[in-house]
């Protein structure tokens, strides 16, 4: 059961995950401005994290035979898919537009619960998602320019769909005795993601000497290796671990709304560390995102009778305070 204390702890962990993920941009931007290709930064992020998690992959090597589809799905969708689609999208459409479309993922999670699982969702969860999406539109200032490019929009939507896979796969077997260890899932997801991104990014053409130099962060010279360490250890390893744990303690849709705060965190950190000042609409939008996340979390059903998604024996109940079985949310495999 997801208890009240568990929800509170899960919310705190989800906020920590949003902060960790949100801090990746302020560390990556100086590296990119120093001359590293964005795809090379992504590869360094995922490959470095996979290396850190390698001992855990060995410890949980039984997962390769027990949960091969789950591991493949997590690596392809939650790691490689989100990164590759997003960076391909921002090459064709404005970054703000791509980010907004990517963070439509919480709404798509509700669509998964409502139309794929055919289960009701709470009105509060819907209101929370709508408020969060509206707030994100202000945070990224979507009105600042939209160069309509059908392929670019489809790529951004692909990133959103991959992020849905992250939330759904992270919920697999959250309360069951046979639940796969989340650290093992993340470790193999990063390994698979690194292998896929190696083919896409082709790191053998990277200028490795840039990592031994310093990068400029709003007038301050910061060692590139230190920035890369932050991206790998905090913005990836810690972020993925806390993200998966929070999904299991809350639910995919609630954790998804809280994850929208990543955009707010990224904007605030860019203001403080990179000198990219917030406008009044961005500040207002951040407040709306916070309100939406709070409504979705605090108004989630707290008793078994109150549905977010509800059914008979063996069904998925994805509201806070309810159990989630492995079978219903699996991507073709019972069980980040």
> Concatenated DSSP letters for 2-66?
--HHHHHHHHHHHHHHHHHHHTHHHHHHHHHHTT--HHHHHHHHHHHHHHHTHHHHHHTTTHHHH
Flag the least confident range among 2-16, 23-37, 109-123, 292-306.
Answer: 292-306
> What is the rounded average pLDDT for all residues in the chain?
76
Question: Kindly report the CA angle at 185 between 256 and 81, in degrees rounded to 5?
Answer: 60
Phi first, then psi: give them for residue 214, nearest 5 degrees.
-110, 155
Say what the pLDDT of residue 311 is.
Answer: 30
Say what the pLDDT of residue 294 is.
Answer: 67
Mean pLDDT in residue range 90-114: 74
Residue 3 neighbours by CB distance under 10 Å: 13
Pair 247, 68: CB distance under 8 Å: no
pLDDT confidence band for 131 (50 / 70 / 90):
confident
**223 DSSP β-pair partners:** 214
Most confident of 48-62, 157-171, 289-303: 48-62
pLDDT at 170 over 80: no
DSSP 80: I
pLDDT confidence band for 172 (50 / 70 / 90):
low
pLDDT at 46 over 50: yes
Dist. CA 204–CA 324, nearest whole Å: 43
């Amino acid at each position: 059961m997801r208890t009240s204390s568990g929800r509170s702890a899960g919310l705190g962990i989800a906020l920590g995950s949003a902060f960790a993920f949100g801090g990746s941009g302020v560390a990556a931007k100086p590296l990119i401005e120093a001359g590293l290709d964005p795809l090379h930064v992504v590869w360094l992020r995922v490959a470095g994290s996979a290396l850190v998690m390698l001992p855990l992959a060995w410890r949980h090597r039984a997962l390769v035979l027990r949960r091969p589809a789950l591991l493949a799905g997590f690596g392809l969708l939650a790691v490689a898919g989100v990164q590759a689609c997003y960076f391909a999208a921002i090459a064709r459409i404005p970054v703000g537009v791509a980010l907004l479309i990517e963070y439509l993922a919480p709404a798509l999670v509700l669509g998964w619960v409502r139309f794929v699982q055919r289960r009701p969702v709470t009105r509060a969860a819907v209101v929370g998602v709508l408020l969060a999406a509206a707030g994100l539109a202000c945070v990224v200032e979507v009105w600042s320019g939209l160069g309509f490019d059908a392929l670019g929009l489809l790529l951004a939507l692909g990133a959103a769909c991959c992020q849905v896979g992250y939330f759904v796969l992270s919920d697999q077997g959250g309360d069951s005795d046979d639940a796969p260890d989340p650290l093992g899932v993340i470790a193999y997801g990063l390994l698979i993601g690194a292998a896929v991104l190696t083919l896409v990014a082709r790191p053998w053409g990277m200028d490795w000497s840039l990592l031994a130099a310093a990068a400029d962060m709003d007038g301050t010279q910061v060692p590139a290796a230190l920035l890369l360490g932050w991206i790998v250890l905090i913005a990836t390893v810690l972020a993925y671990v806390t993200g998966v744990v929070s999904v299991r303690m809350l639910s995919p849709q609630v954790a998804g709304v809280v994850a929208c705060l990543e955009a707010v965190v990224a904007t605030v950190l860019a203001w403080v560390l990179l000198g990219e000042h917030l406008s009044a609409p961005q500040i207002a939008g951040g407040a709306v995102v916070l309100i939406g996340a709070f409504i979705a979390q605090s108004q989630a059903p707290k008793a078994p009778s109150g549905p977010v998604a509800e059914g008979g024996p063996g069904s998925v109940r994805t509201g806070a305070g309810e159990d989630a079985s492995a079978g219903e949310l699996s991507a073709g495999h019972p069980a980040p």
